[in-house]
């Protein structure tokens, strides 16, 4: 079973990230958001959906997100930072409390920021050493800005 | 690792009038050093790929340049203490070749550090509350402001507490470290002049008070130089200061999601603002702000008070305005009078004066300072200006609080150390990027052009007669030398492998900002000085008594300049 990092631990990856919706969609697959929106009546239960860069979270307004165990956000390149905003909006605006999974070409060194934006699982490329990646997930123990874990900026937290 | 015991000489406490780190600020820069040390180690061990290390090192100000890495050290809003400047001098000696380059973002660039030394350099910088965080990369860069902040009479309020607020908010902002492109913010607090060039920034903030007397900002967005220069547009006439951070979050969140990422030359926020139109862009920002306004990032008054408490006035004495020691020297020495007229500026306090230490000495690359000069400048700051300096975006150093009765002494000391070139605001007070001598991006060299112009215009009487002209030189379209907003702009271009120079006229960076117009086909390197001479001749022949170069240009247009520059020799 492939592995991933979730909530700070290396665990089995029990979901399959599907690029397309096909007959194999099931309660263990993560399917493309737009395909799911277009075909939700016929698809049946899925583990979750994934959002591609450029799609944004606006299409999810009005959708009951609690039906998803996981929402994936794809990074077509580690330089593409749109997913950071998407995760914050899922958590802070759409109040999604399930798993938010980073997919695609993000880097282990980005985990600190990704976690602060609301990601809690990381499906790395196969060649990434997860033991090393795990050591990189908290480069800073203090922060100036509020974030998903604590919305208070530093000026509300200084003693 | 660095032997920090060696650095104890830098940690003597002096009274300070700038922001001081607390334990949290200090912990952040130290954790950053540890993070970057590990990233560098993994890169050198081939555990991090080249393309992965690239954005990580850029966010620490480290470029891999033409001949060596370049490290850009942050000088937040241009404020530097004598203690910090001494360490910078020492770092240039021990890790580089004994000099550095002050940039238009008020930062300091080292041209020859070794990659494997950079973690040690950052560790040393952290001991004096300095870093290189976000001085490059597609993130929010060092916020800049007026080099005369806090010491001029006509500012709405001291902009530095707001700059520090923005510095903290932007430092390691988790959502905005991988924007479509770099993002620059500048703050201006005066109506009379704009020394921060807010109209050519991604966001320009004009500090103001509304009719009720509340402090806030007029917010400009979408200005910028580079390949597609644009003057910013007004997105809001007044944002109360308490809402500043939520409003900035809203603007940048819209940009992060909607800015173009398919073409780096179309990725700045100015392209998005232009494509949508300012009204539609404002609508989208307002829609986002609706959600953010009033949340925890709203800044409480207690935080403004806390930040302002760092930028207190030094212990000014009650002094006589224009003391006789000054007025006598002004009458006796035309050289001193010249320096006084050009390189000093009105201070808000009677008996004090703001002094610019020029880094535009002929024969020295504009903005460069040797380690010796940095130490001398630090000494002068201790002796004459409460131990502090500012870096100006015109690439000079400023002593903000000099007693008028000590100006003669300071002038003598400045002369000895190459700081007294009395040309501030004149043609040879050029803004100039490092260009092809150092930079891997440059199409052409810029320093030899600066030298040529210094040689062409080496007569001080003539320079004074020409009067105020901003001449800016960039070695490529990235426009680090701000050529678009120079009254005279010079841009290095590559023409079939040879270095050529395009001249533009009529740019300006103040409240009357404008983008220069291209004069015509580019010139060979050796022609540039002569062309600038012809351009100046047209101005001198056409000006009225009151007119500066830019005024004459705006009145008569580009045609006479074009005719003179391209006229065939008889």
Judging contacts by C-beta atoms under 8 Å, the chain A residues touching residue B32 are 139-140
Would you kindly state where each structural domain of chain A is located, as residue ranges? Answer: 3-156
Q: Which residues of B touch A117 (CB under 8 A)?
A: 174-175
The alpha carbon of residue A44 is apart from the nearest alpha carbon of chain B, in Å, by 31
**Which residues in B have their CB inside 8 Å of a CB on A?**
22, 24, 27-28, 31-32, 34-35, 39, 47-48, 52, 55-56, 138, 168-169, 171-179, 245, 253, 256-257, 261, 291, 295-297, 299-300, 302-303, 306
The phi-psi region of residue B224 (left if phi > 0; otherwise alpha if psi is between -120 and 50; otherwise beta) is left
| A-chain residues near B178 (CB < 8 A) | 78-81, 84, 110
User: Could you say which of A84, A88, A141 has the minimum Cβ distance to residue B178?
Assistant: A84
CATH 3.90.480.20 intervals, chain B: 324-416
Q: Do the chains contact at A81 and B296, CB–CB below 8 Å?
A: no
Q: How confident is the model at residue B177 (pLDDT cuts 50, 70, 90)?
A: very high
Token readout for B173 is: 């902002």
pLDDT of residue B3: 64
For the segment B408-430, the average pLDDT, to the nearest whole number, is 96
Q: Write the pLDDT tens digit of every residue in B69-94.
A: 899 999 999 999 999 999 999 999 99
Contacts of B523 (CB under 8 A, 6+ apart): B500, B501, B502, B503, B531
Model confidence pLDDT, tens digit, residues B487-526:
999 999 999 889 999 999 999 999 999 999 999 999 999 9
The encoded tokens of residue B384 equal 């004459």
With pLDDT > 90 as the criterion, what percentage of chain B qualifies?
A: 90
- Taking residue B181's Cβ as centre, other Cβ atoms within 10 Å add up to 22
Return d(Cα B233, Cα B226) in angstroms, integer.
17
Residue B277: strand, helix, or coil: coil
CATH 3.90.480.20 fits B324-416, yes or no: yes
Q: Which residues of B touch A140 (CB under 8 A)?
A: 28, 31-32, 35, 172
How close does chain A come to B292, measured CA to CA in Å? 10
Question: What pLDDT shows up at residue B349?
Answer: 97
β-bridge mates for residue A70, sequence order: A48, A99
**pLDDT(B13) > 60:** no
The DSSP output letter for A117 is T
User: Which residues from A are below 8 Å from B27, CB to CB?
Assistant: 141-142
Residue B14 confidence (pLDDT) above 80:
no
**Average pLDDT of span B171-175:** 98
- The span from the CA of B183 to the CA of B328, in Å, is 49
Q: Are B149 and B189 in contact (CB under 8 A)?
A: yes
Bridge-partner residues for A9, per DSSP? A6
Determine the pLDDT at residue B1: 60
Which residues partner with B490 through β-bridges?
A: B473, B503
Element containing residue A42 per DSSP (H, E): helix A33-43
What digits encode the pLDDT tens for the residues A29-86? Answer: 999 999 999 998 888 899 999 999 999 999 999 999 999 999 999 999 999 999 999 9
Half-sphere exposure (Cβ direction) of B389: Cα atoms closer than 13 Å: 30
B139 within 8 A of B177, measured Cβ to Cβ: yes
Residues of chain B within CATH 3.30.413.10 domain(s) are 151-308, 431-566
pLDDT, greater one: B119 or B438: B119
Q: What is the DSSP letter of A50?
A: E
For A2, counting Cβ atoms within 10 Å of its Cβ (0-12 exposed, 13-18 middle, 19+ buried), the class is exposed
B253 CB neighbours in chain A (<8 A) are 85
Q: How far lies B245's CA from each of B138, B173, B241, B397, in Å?
A: 19, 12, 8, 30
Best CATH choice for the domain B431-566 from the list 3.20.20.100, 2.40.10.220, 3.30.413.10, 1.10.260.40:
3.30.413.10
Q: Answer whether A70's CB lies under 8 Å from A120's CB.
A: no
Residue A127: CB partners within 8 Å, gap ≥ 6? none
Whether B178 sits inside 8 A of A139 (CB atoms) is no
With contact defined as beta carbons under 8 Å apart, do B126 and B73 qualify? no
Give the mean pLDDT of B284-291. 98
Are A4 and A136 a contacting pair, CB within 8 Å? no
B128 Cβ contact partners less than 8 Å away, ≥ 6 residues apart: B10, B11, B81, B83, B84, B87
Count how many pairs of residues, chain A against chain B, have C-beta atoms within 8 Å.
104
Q: d(Cα A48, Cα A36) in Å, to the nearest integer? A: 9
In the sheet that B108-110 helps form, which strands lie side by side, from edge to edge?
B62-64, B69-73, B108-110, B99-102, B368-370
Mean pLDDT, to the nearest integer, of B415-443?
Answer: 93
Judged against a pLDDT cut of 50, whether residue B11 lies above it is answered with no
pLDDT of B64: 82
Q: Do the Cβ atoms of B166 and B203 come closer than 8 Å?
A: no
According to DSSP, the β-strands at B431-432 and B471-474 are parallel
CB contact under 8 A, B173 and A145: yes
Maximum C-alpha span of chain B: 72
Report pLDDT digits (tens) over B127-151. 999 999 999 999 999 999 999 999 9
* CA–CA dist A22, B139 (Å, integer): 39
The span from the CA of B45 to the CA of B546, in Å, is 64
Per DSSP, what are the bridge partners of residue B233?
B221
CA distances from B70 to B66, B120, B136, B138 (A): 9, 15, 11, 17
Taking residues A103-124, what's their average pLDDT?
Answer: 98
How far apart, in whole angstroms, are the C-alpha atoms of residue B199 and residue B190?
14
B438 and B428 in contact (C-beta within 8 Å)?
A: no
Task: Kindly state the tokens that stand for B174.
Answer: 């988790």
Q: What kind of fold does domain B151-308 have according to CATH?
A: Sulfite Reductase Hemoprotein; domain 1 (3.30.413)
- Min Cα distance A23 → chain B (Å) is 32
Quote the pLDDT of residue B12: 46
Q: Specify whether the CB–CB gap between B435 and B447 falls below 8 A.
A: yes
The residues near B171 (Cβ < 8 Å, ≥ 6 apart) are A144, B28, B133, B134
At residue B438 the predicted structure's pLDDT band, cuts being 50, 70 and 90, is confident
Q: Report the CATH architecture of B4-126.
A: 2-Layer Sandwich (3.30)
pLDDT higher than threshold 60 for residue B259? yes
- Structure-token pair, residue B565: 């520059």
Quote the CA–CA distance of B17 and B309 in Å, as a whole number.
Answer: 9
pLDDT at B9 over 80: no
């Amino acid at each position: 079973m492939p592995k991933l990092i979730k909530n700070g631990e290396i665990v089995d990856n029990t979901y399959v990230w599907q690029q397309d919706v096909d007959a194999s969609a099931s309660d263990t697959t993560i399917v493309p958001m737009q395909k799911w929106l277009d075909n939700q009546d016929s698809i049946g239960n899925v583990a979750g959906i994934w959002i591609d860069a450029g799609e944004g979270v606006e299409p999810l307004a009005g959708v009951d997100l609690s039906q998803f165990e996981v929402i994936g956000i794809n990074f077509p390149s580690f330089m593409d930072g749109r997913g950071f905003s998407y995760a914050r909006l899922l958590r802070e605006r759409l109040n999604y409390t399930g798993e938010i999974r980073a997919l695609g070409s993000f880097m282990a060194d980005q985990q600190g920021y990704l976690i602060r934006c609301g990601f809690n699982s990381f499906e790395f490329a196969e060649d990434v050493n997860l033991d090393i990646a795990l050591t990189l997930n908290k480069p800073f123990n203090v922060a100036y800005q509020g974030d998903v874990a604590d919305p208070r900026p530093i000026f509300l937290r200084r003693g | 690792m660095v032997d920090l015991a060696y650095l104890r000489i830098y940690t003597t406490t002096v009274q300070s009038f700038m922001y001081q780190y607390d334990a949290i600020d200090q912990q952040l820069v130290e954790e950053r050093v540890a993070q970057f040390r590990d990233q560098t180690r993994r890169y050198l061990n081939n555990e991090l790929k080249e393309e992965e290390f690239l954005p990580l090192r850029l966010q620490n100000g480290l470029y891999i340049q033409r001949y060596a890495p370049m490290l850009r050290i942050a000088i937040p809003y241009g404020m530097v203490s004598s203690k910090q400047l001494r360490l910078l001098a020492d770092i240039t000696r021990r890790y580089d070749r004994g000099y550095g380059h002050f940039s238009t973002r008020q930062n300091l660039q080292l041209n020859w550090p070794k990659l494997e030394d950079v973690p040690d350099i950052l560790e040393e910088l952290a001991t004096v509350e300095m870093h290189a965080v976000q001085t490059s990369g597609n993130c929010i860069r060092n916020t800049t402001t007026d080099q005369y902040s806090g010491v001029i009479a006509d500012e709405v309020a001291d902009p530095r507490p707001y700059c520090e607020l923005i510095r903290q908010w932007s430092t390691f902002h988790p959502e905005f470290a991988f924007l479509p492109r770099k993002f620059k913010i500048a703050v201006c607090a005066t109506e009379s002049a704009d020394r921060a060039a807010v109209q050519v920034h991604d966001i320009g903030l004009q500090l103001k008070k509304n009719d009720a007397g509340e402090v806030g900002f007029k917010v400009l967005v979408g200005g910028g130089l580079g390949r597609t220069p644009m003057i910013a547009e007004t997105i809001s006439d007044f944002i109360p200061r308490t809402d500043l951070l939520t409003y900035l979050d809203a603007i940048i969140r819209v940009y992060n999601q909607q800015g173009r990422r398919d073409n780096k030359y179309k990725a700045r926020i100015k392209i998005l603002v232009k494509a949508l139109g300012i009204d539609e862009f404002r609508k989208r920002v307002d829609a986002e702000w609706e959600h953010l306004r009033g949340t925890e990032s709203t800044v409480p008054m207690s935080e403004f008070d806390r930040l302002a408490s760092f930028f207190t006035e030094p212990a000014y004495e009650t002094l006589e305005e224009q003391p006789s020691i000054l007025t006598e020297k002004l009458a006796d020495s035309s050289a001193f009078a010249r320096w006084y007229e050009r390189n000093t500026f009105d201070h808000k306090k009677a008996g004090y004066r703001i002094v610019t230490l020029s880094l535009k000495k002929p024969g020295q690359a504009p903005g460069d300072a040797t380690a010796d000069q940095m130490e001398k400048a630090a000494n002068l700051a201790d002796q004459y200006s409460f131990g502090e300096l500012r870096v100006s975006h015109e690439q000079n150093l400023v002593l903000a609080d000099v007693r008028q009765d000590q100006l003669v002494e300071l002038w003598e000391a400045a002369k000895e150390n190459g700081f007294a070139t009395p040309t501030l605001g004149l043609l040879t007070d050029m803004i100039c990027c490092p260009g092809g001598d150092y930079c891997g991006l440059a199409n052409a060299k810029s320093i030899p052009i600066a030298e040529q112009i210094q040689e062409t215009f080496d007569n001080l009487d003539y320079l004074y007669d020409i009067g105020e002209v901003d001449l800016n030189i960039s070695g490529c379209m990235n426009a680090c030398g701000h050529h678009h907003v120079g009254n005279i702009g010079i841009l290095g271009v590559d023409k079939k492998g040879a270095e050529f120079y395009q001249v533009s006229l009529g740019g300006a960076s103040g409240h009357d900002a404008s983008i220069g117009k291209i004069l015509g086909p580019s010139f060979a390197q050796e022609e540039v000085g002569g062309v600038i001479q012809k351009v100046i001749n047209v101005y001198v022949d056409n000006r009225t008594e009151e007119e500066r170069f830019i005024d004459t240009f705006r009145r008569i247009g580009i045609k006479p300049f074009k005719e003179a520059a391209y006229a065939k020799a008889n």
